[in-house]
Amino acid sequence: MAKHKISRRDWVKTAGAAGAAAMLGGQQSDAQTPSRPRRWDRETDVLVIGAGATGFPAAIVAREAGADVIVLEAENHIGGHAICSGGNLPLGGGTSVQKKHGIEDSADLVFRDLTDWSVVQPNGFPDYRYNDREIIRAYADHCTATFEWLLAHGVTFLDKAPDNLGGSSIGNSAPREMHPVNLDYPLVQTGKPVEAQRRTTSSSGNGLMRPLEAAAKSAGVPILLQHRMKALYRDDAGSTRVIGVAAEHEGKVVNIRARKAVIIATGGSSGNVNFRRMFDPRLTEEYCGLAGMPYSNQDASGELAAMAIGASLWGAYNQTGEFGETLTKPGTLGAQYSYRNLRWMPGSPVFDKAHASGLPIGDWQNIVLVNMLGERFYDETAGQYTANSYRRVDPYTPHSYLNGKRNKYEPNDWVAAALAGIGDGHNGGGPIWAIFDADAVTREQWNPVPPNVDGERGFFFSADTLAALAKKIVMQHQRVPMPPDNLVATIARFNSFVDSGNDEDFGRPKPPYKVTRAPFYAAWATPVIHDTRAGLRINAECQVVDLNGAVIPGLYCGGESAGGFSMHGLARCMCQGFIAGRHAAAEKPAAQKHS
């Protein structure tokens, strides 16, 4: 394969202005600028960008419809966030398994649930109000077909009725959630398969993605690892048609032609600080512990490449609204990556990037949370944003104003308080530290040493006094030193609340444990960003739409990089991959032009 060294001059020369701007991090959009490369290194019909929840169904469906397909994957492994996930998959609408268990469901019911303006979250935010009806209708109409397709492509689910165990945003009218079994594939979290007796009784995203990887390979789909798509090429002669991509591989440019279509399945934008701050200016650099990282990033590369040729974003409220899993409390302490359902253990293929597994927090009464200045900010035991689930609104009367009234109002403000900051003009909240003592370590049965905690990179500290601990907290996101007197005073005041049984500052219910016995610890406990819920505008066929409402020919998108659909997780991604793959394969090939 011919490859070229990347230099700024080369890009401008070979990639054309728009492609070069995107490649080099610019975001200019000029849909009229031709950007055909001098030569193609590879060709295919359908080029899928991203080997995750959206990319695999898209690639296999397109291949089975007769198209030549290539998948590009930025990392040196497949699976994206999907393989790290719990695998809980709410595809319903009347699946064979729902029928087997006597559950009534239909495409119309799925559509009705996901467009019900009257469903609000426990903190008052509407869950489905800003969903795009065209996109939801397409999802509802393909939900069952996608599920049956997964069954036919080697995914095995727990042998039980659909339920609601994953619990979030999955509609209110029927149990829909299924759980793919792990089988004997090594988990990315540990590098080992689960114990033999649990292989068909436990589930995760591994059980979803490994069979799809096998299906893609047996269908003859090449998966090019460490190929990071950087820019989209369009046809010249004034056309807006997308005809291929520029990818980066081992520091070189690879130009790949897509005769029919490019499908963006890159998984969202929450890992790109500038991009995510368009939706929420508070999400500054300190939120560096994304769920799913460091296995893969959500770097907005798909969105940026499409926006550089005029694509529109869609449904931005869905990213801004404070609900669901979008921002969460950390589930572990003392490590950069601290999502509650994901611990990176030694043996994981990405442990060298994760550096530590984190201390799983069982009881928030065991710690005191402080901001950068060593001050408490909220009740540590309070909840994060919550999400609706089956029968949470009970009784549920579709599209009735009564649903909102029946909802128990719970503000769930921990995350909002943690992001409030210290009043110095910085937009984000800064690091949040969990302060605890030797007694808490005993109660939680923690072993606060590597590989459980990451002291080397400043995510964990210990000292014999609280004042010494505050002085030790030096790391890139701690913008100002923590005043030792503040931390000492905060803990003394907190200990007095344990004596009185009354947290006068934040109403933490009857704090039972003082922080008194050395050594004392400070462990990273900053909120974690999870989902992307706003992305590129698409239509019912998953074609990307520009700022004028016109389809960009030859460009498709699905999953977390697509907007207009406020639903957590895998189901929409798999379904949109399924839809995009079908339509991309049916495109007429673009005529080859010679420069």
Ligand X SMILES: Cc1cc2nc3c(=O)[nH]c(=O)nc-3n(C[C@H](O)[C@H](O)[C@H](O)COP(=O)(O)OP(=O)(O)OC[C@H]3O[C@@H](n4cnc5c(N)ncnc54)[C@H](O)[C@@H]3O)c2cc1C
Residues that bind ligand X (CB under 6 A): 49-55, 72-75, 80-82, 84-89, 166, 205, 228-229, 265-268, 291-292, 296, 299, 301, 339, 341-342, 559-561, 568-571, 573
**385 within 8 A of 321, measured Cβ to Cβ:** no
Q: How far is the CB of 297 from ligand X (least distance, A)?
A: 7
* Cβ-based nearer residue to ligand X, 282 or 568: 568
Q: How far is the CB of 548 from ligand X (least distance, A)?
A: 25
* Cβ-based nearer residue to ligand X, 180 or 334: 180
* Cβ-based nearer residue to ligand X, 400 or 539: 539
Q: In angstroms, rounded to a whole number, what is the distance separating the alpha carbons of residues 431 and 414? A: 14
* Cβ-based nearer residue to ligand X, 181 or 522: 181
Q: In angstroms, rounded to a whole number, what is the distance separating the alpha carbons of residues 589 and 261? A: 8
SS3 459: coil
* Cβ-based nearer residue to ligand X, 86 or 222: 86
Which of 147, 149, 213, 225 minimizes the C-alpha distance to 183?
A: 213
Q: How far is the CB of 594 from ligand X (least distance, A)?
A: 28
Question: Which is it for strands 42-49 and 69-72: parallel, antiparallel or unpaired?
Answer: parallel
* Cβ-based nearer residue to ligand X, 303 or 454: 303
* Cβ-based nearer residue to ligand X, 263 or 473: 263
Close Cβ partners of 405 (under 8 Å, ≥ 6 residues apart): none
Q: How far is the CB of 236 from ligand X (least distance, A)?
A: 24
* Cβ-based nearer residue to ligand X, 444 or 560: 560
Indicate the DSSP class of residue 345: P
**14 within 8 A of 4, measured Cβ to Cβ:** yes
Q: How far is the CB of 571 from ligand X (least distance, A)?
A: 6
Cis check for the bond before 395: say yes or no (omega within 30 of 0): yes
HEC per residue, 163-179 = ECCCCCCCCCCCCCEEC
Q: How far is the CB of 488 from ligand X (least distance, A)?
A: 37
Backbone angles phi, psi at 320, to 5 degrees: -85, -30
Q: How far is the CB of 55 from ligand X (least distance, A)?
A: 6
Q: How far is the CB of 468 from ligand X (least distance, A)?
A: 35
Measured CA to CA in angstroms, residue 546 lies from 348, 456, 539, 549 at distances of: 41, 46, 11, 5
Indicate the DSSP class of residue 68: -
Which of 126, 168, 171, 173 minimizes the C-alpha distance to 387?
A: 168
* Cβ-based nearer residue to ligand X, 87 or 374: 87
Which of 459, 447, 452, 432 minimizes the C-alpha distance to 358?
A: 452
The strand pairing partners of 248, in sequence order, are 228, 253
- Residue 557, classified by CB atoms within 10 Å of its CB into exposed (0-12), middle (13-18) or buried (19+), is buried
Q: How far is the CB of 129 from ligand X (least distance, A)?
A: 21
The closest residue (CB) to ligand X is 52
How many Cβ atoms from other residues are within 10 Å of residue 180's Cβ?
A: 26
* Cβ-based nearer residue to ligand X, 88 or 338: 88
Backbone angles phi, psi at 46, to 5 degrees: -120, 125
> Considering just the CA atoms, what is the radius of gyration of the chain in Å?
25
Q: In angstroms, rounded to a whole number, what is the distance separating the alpha carbons of residues 150 and 281? A: 39
Q: How far is the CB of 88 from ligand X (least distance, A)?
A: 4
Which of 30, 75, 27 minimizes the C-alpha distance to 50?
A: 75
* Cβ-based nearer residue to ligand X, 306 or 435: 306
* Cβ-based nearer residue to ligand X, 440 or 575: 575
Residue tagged 């032609």 (tokens): 257
Q: How far is the CB of 477 from ligand X (least distance, A)?
A: 21
Which of 323, 397, 393 minimizes the C-alpha distance to 127?
A: 323
Strand positions, DSSP E, 445-550: 460-463, 520-524, 528-529, 535-536, 543-545
Q: In angstroms, rounded to a whole number, what is the distance separating the alpha carbons of residues 443 and 361? A: 11
Q: How far is the CB of 511 from ligand X (least distance, A)?
A: 30
